[in-house]
Amino acid sequence: MTSRPLFAAAFLLVASIGLAQAPDPLKASLAAAKASDPMARRQAAEDLGRSRNPAAVPALETLLGDAHPFVRATACEALGAQRSRSSVPKLAAVLSGDSDPRVRQAAATAFVYIGDGAAADALVGALKDGAAPVRHAAMRALGKLRAAVAVPALASVLSDPDASARKVAAASLGEIGAKEGVPALSSALADADAGVRTEAAKSLGLIADPAAAPALTAALKDADAGVRVQAAAALAKSGDASGLPVAYAALKSPDAATRRQAAATVGVVGDAKGVAALDAARAVEKDADAQGIMDFARAQLRARHGLPEKAPAKAPAPKPAERTPAKKAPIKTPSKTPAKKVNR
């Protein structure tokens, strides 16, 4: 009877010794951050970022000056994961002064996770960086931070020779949502690149300023169906339903991607007539993805306009099977044979 309590006590003793001897992960990572092997320092930076422990921030800031760029870039990412607002000045210095564009790009991206508007000035400065990936990362970060101070600088990028840069700038202006960006975005509706025009229309929809109506109305006649659909959506978001027929017509486009985009747009901004348009388009739709989007869009519209769900069509009742009369077996007549005489 005494063996069980003794066994339990021994087990608890061994467990407590094991816990006491278990290494502290934070201390181990802090030590590895000073290792001579750069790969060990890089791994330490990743671990310190994942720890989300503020005590790791000083070591990560030290690694911003590491001799190896991949260690510095990982330290930037880790400080972003730490959401370390106190590190904004040091990351800003990296963004403007590090010799490696990959490190500068990582610093710009880190500001997205930190979410501190104090980084806006450094990011605006990075729009003049010599490396396109750095400039694009800075523009995206300014959009995520909704940095209104960056609107003039982003508007100037809309005249950049690089179409991809113009597209990112247009998207970021929409995320910022400032009306000061409307004139530049309205002009971008005439851009030579359809992708830029699409982003400009989409961003004008996010801003929803009626001042953009003339440019958006002209965009309803754009050669690209995607631009037309986004222009119709943008007008509807500002209270102008004149473009909805264009979106409904796009549901019949021969291009499946356009039909999917149109269905999603109708679900968000369509009126009661959009339900009938979606029903008709869904009845003949062959693309599985478009079918799913149309079903969801129909549910959106019915919920928003208080329309009842359409009852499923009843299957026609099966016709009763025709009964064929059973064939009558022929009646056999007994043969007349004379009865045999029985001798008694």
Q: Which two tokens stand for residue 69?
A: 């760029």
Buried b (16+ CB within 10 A) or exposed e, 141-171: bbbbbebbebbebbbebbebeeeebbbbbbb
Buried b (16+ CB within 10 A) or exposed e, 15-42: eeeeeeeeeeeeeebbebbeeeeeeebb
Q: What is the mean pLDDT of the chain?
A: 89
Percentage of the chain modeled with pLDDT above 70? 83
Q: For 18-68, write each residue's pLDDT tens digit.
A: 545 556 889 999 999 999 999 999 999 999 999 999 999 999 999 999 999
Cα distances (Å, whole numbers) of residue 39 to 34, 47, 74, 219: 11, 12, 11, 53
Q: For 208-256, write each residue's pLDDT tens digit.
A: 999 999 999 999 999 999 999 999 999 999 999 999 999 999 999 999 9
Angle at 86 between CA 84 and CA 92, to 5 degrees: 90
The answer to whether residues 56 and 29 touch, using CB atoms and an 8 Å cutoff, is yes
Q: Which two tokens stand for residue 188?
A: 């971008």
Residue linked to tokens 């061994």: 14
The pTM assigned to this predicted structure is 0.80
Residue 1: which pLDDT band, with cuts at 50, 70 and 90? very low
How big is the chain, counted in residues?
344
The answer to whether residues 122 and 90 touch, using CB atoms and an 8 Å cutoff, is no
The answer to whether residues 232 and 243 touch, using CB atoms and an 8 Å cutoff, is yes
